Amino acid sequence: MDRKTAVVTGAVRGIGRAIALRFARDGASVVVNYRSSDPDELVREIEALGVSCLAVQADVSDYAQAEQLILAAQDKFGTVDYLINNAGITKDKLIMRMSEEDFDSVTDTNLKGAFNTIRHVTPIMMKQRSGAIVNITSVVGLFGNGGQANYSAAKSGLIGLTKSVAKELGSRGITANAVAPGFIETDMTKDLPENIKEKLLDSIALKRYGKAEEVADLVHFVANCKYMTAQVVSIDGGM
């Protein structure tokens, strides 16, 4: 992967961090996108692997900031070979208590954020006639979840976006796929009440939670599979 460049949104923690490190271990230059978390430790970790790293602060839900993220990557490394849309937030509430802001902020980041980065990276990938886009959706985007109407809608929309983009860009050698994690051990999930965690564990065939590194391995494989596009690949332990 020498001279390849990967842009990872929401890269400082959890699954995003594991993905950034996975691409770095294979020799790709990595652009670490973040909104508020401190990226310095991750940058040092990536550079210790002997590859270049650029940290770019940008809120991908903002069209102009997403453009600046992609332009910064192109300016630094000359190209973008991989775009991994991982940035996401949750604001869980029952639909009867969910505010308009709760819905809009989640869909703006989790769905529109992916559109924004894809929109701006498309001319680069089309010109070089190659590239891979991997969108991190969720199993709740496939079957829904009570209390997560906003999150489920955004993640389901991400699947439709992925399939449409794949059909539009396939003739230029660009792939677009989605990876749908189940319950993965991250900062976002560790604070769930124990009774919820136990209930989730009962629904998982392998009787354990997934690891961010396992998701990262799958994302890396999907991004480098040249004849796979418009697919949704679940990694949920048989949930």
* Residues noted as catalytic: 151
Q: How far apart are CA 50 and CA 2, in angstroms?
A: 11
Strands (E), the chain: 5-8, 29-34, 53-57, 82-85, 131-136, 174-181, 184-185, 210-211, 232-235
The b/e string for 208-219 (b: 16+ C-beta within 10 A; e otherwise) is ebbebebbbebb
Evaluate whether 174 touches 131 at the Cβ level (below 8 Å): yes
Match 């009774």 to its residue by tokens. Answer: 195
Q: Is 227 helix (H, G, I), strand (E, B) or coil?
A: coil
Match 């396992």 to its residue by tokens. Answer: 214
